[in-house]
Structure 1
């Protein structure tokens, strides 16, 4: 009882924060083991097989990309957009029917995450793309942002995840980890906004910037060496250390850099 009372007090004290008191913050069960067959399918698609997490929706790879069972059986098309020594990548599926406005709805998340969503929306809308985002309070949204509660697994913390477009539509969900091991008791708005901005990039079809060589941001090793990059004129030839789509975050604010903007406009401003 004493522990329960302390938990209630902690929740009340953090009422304005994103904490484990949210109704959708029931801690999820530890993920189940991933079979060798599934790992082979993930590797065949060119994704890292390190720390793959199994969920009810599919498998989370590279920390934040959801692959469904159906996608594992597909041959995904990857196009590389070269923006320097580290490249931008997009999936074979992009959002179509342009120009269009994608609505975004937030479900059961606290003020810091709401402000983070608004920050990400402003950043995209400032680029003059043929895709715009608009937050709505109710109804069916193009993208729904909601929470899940996942404690660290084998020392690895999950922060968020989303997926790639299907049938010309953006991936319909962004999940943010409300466990305090991820964003803490009082999430930093700019950091949360940068993570949400990153996940929105996946929803539009963007892979990780260091898809060819994840060692650039995560200390891992290359997993894909059979892509012929397409150079984007006007971009530099040096490394791109601050891209919003790096696989591993720098732990702080990460708005679009100049190369990110060039890549997004190449895809969605024409």
Structure 2
């Protein structure tokens, strides 16, 4: 991630960047483990389709994309044919399903860096993934990533998985202290993304987030797109963009969540809601508009990916986010009291709902009756019990739970 060169030119320190380049590459933000054969790594990367001008050798370390160190084993894996095309922009290297808990050890992270590390881990831990993520020390770790701080860096550096294991180290720049905790969280979340196999979302044109730069390379095996995620990047559109901004929130966008869940999601991940009339809630156009209640069957637009904010198993009274097919989050406008839409790129307080099992169970199964409570305490309602086709047919403005505020769920 080119987080050592923020978009805001006032924040740049050109003199420092030139000095760092001589020492270790300013755009790589530090050196990680030392590969045993840099030339073979370079040859493998060229064969995999990476442009020569995007491959940088510093000592015995080899980098692509300016911040992703490539080991010899990882470079060899890139030459293998991909097993599927169900991933976002990533290399063919992913984390094996045998890795069930990833721990991150950062004893040198204190103060705002410690808080940011905890928040970055939480970004992954709160998702229903094939692996959990925790900060070390923790029991039951399948693999431990070491997190270190380099006071001379203003960004981060990591590498790709190899042998089915995450990359072993993330290095975070101490100069990030000039930014807020959300920006540091963003950088750490990004570097953790590299360790589990994500490429930059704007790999094909780094100028999108950096203001300058070219194509990191594709070749079919170097950058694979996950269906359902945008094939083009935008400023602020992904936590995996090459460059960061001082205004980053630290949170994943809707397309980021789609990508992570597609790569590592554990089923079930979607909820559908049947109203009193037998109709289903729908995010019109798959998201980006309002929520209606007039569908007679479950299709992609009637399935909502849920994120349990507390992490772990979905339980009664948990707070959840709901995401439409296009990655947009469902929102109770003004936190409740009005219409329900599905048009938010990130999840905040208005996009959080308490899910209540009206049948009294502590967990949820298909067929259970539930209610959704907005941030202001009011309940989601399908007006007239369902059947409404326009904006306002689903609201979040009821003070109590009745038949119209009751939904039967299907988990898939």
- TM-score normalised by the chain length of structure 1: 0.68
Q: Which one of 142, 150, 173 corresponds to residue 169 of structure 2?
A: 173
Deviations 1:22-56 (A, max 9, x none): xxxxx998239xx9997666544444535836156
Q: Indicate if the aligned counterparts of 1:47 and 1:62 stay in contact, CA closer than 8 A.
A: no
User: Judging changes above 3 Å, is the alpha-carbon distance between structure 1 residues 189 and 121 closer, same or farther for their aligned structure 2 residues?
Assistant: same
Cα 1:80–1:147 change in 2 (3 A) is farther
Aligned-residue offset at 1:232: 1.3
8 A Cα contact 1:28 1:148, kept in partner: no
Check the 8 A contact 1:160/1:195 in 2, yes or no.
yes
Identify the residue that residue 116 of structure 1 maps to in structure 2.
Answer: 116
1:163 aligned partner: 159
- In the alignment, the residues of structure 2 paired with residue 269 and residue 103 of structure 1 have an alpha-carbon distance, to the nearest angstrom, of 18
Residues 176 and 212 of structure 1, relative CA distance in 2, 3 Å threshold: same
- Give SS of 2:103's match: strand
Displacement after TM superposition at 1:163 (Å): 1.0
Alignment of 1:148-227 (within 5 A): 148-150=150-152, 159-178=155-174, 182-184=175-177, 187-218=179-210, 219-227=212-220
Partner of 2:261: 265
Distance 2:43 2:202 in 1: 21
Contact 1:106 1:137 in 2 (8 A): no
- Relative distance call for 1:80 and 1:97 in structure 2 (3 A) is closer
Contact 1:60 1:161 in 2 (8 A): no
Secondary structure of 2:127's partner? coil
| Long gaps (5+) in structure 1 | 1-26, 83-87, 151-156
State the distance in 1 between where 2:255 and 2:106 align.
29
> Residues 23-42 of structure 1: matches in 2 within 5 Å?
30-31=23-24, 42=45
> Within 2, Cα distance between the matches of 1:227 and 1:183?
34
Aligned to 2:69: 66
1:52 maps onto 2:56 in alignment: yes
Residue number in structure 2 paired with 1:232? 227
Q: Which residue of 1 aligns with 2:17?
A: none
For the Cα contact (< 8 Å) 1:81–1:263, is it kept in 2? Answer: no
Q: Which residue of 2 aligns with 1:21?
A: none
Contact 2:160/2:196 (8 A) holds in 1: yes
Which of 235, 238, 246 is the matching residue for 1:243?
A: 238
Mapped to 2, the partners of 1:264 and 1:93 lie a distance apart of 14
Distance apart, 1:81 and its partner CA: 5.4
By how many angstroms is 1:173 displaced?
0.9
Q: In structure 2, do the counterparts of structure 1 residues 215 and 80 end up closer, same or farther at CA, with 3 Å as the change threshold?
A: farther
8 Å CA contact 1:53, 1:61 repeated in 2: no
Residue 80 of structure 1 deviates from its aligned partner by 6.1
Q: 1: CA distance between counterparts of 2:63 and 2:79?
A: 16
Higher relative contact order (CA 8 A, sep 6+): 1
Contact 2:74-2:161 within 8 A present in 1 as well: no
- 1:220: how far off? 1.7
CA gap 1:114/1:53 in 2 versus in 1, 3 angstroms: farther
Runs of 5+ consecutive residues of structure 2 not aligned to the other structure? 1-19, 26-37, 267-412
Higher fraction of strand: 2
Going from structure 1 to structure 2, the CA distance change for 1:248 and 1:148 (only over 3 Å counts) comes to same
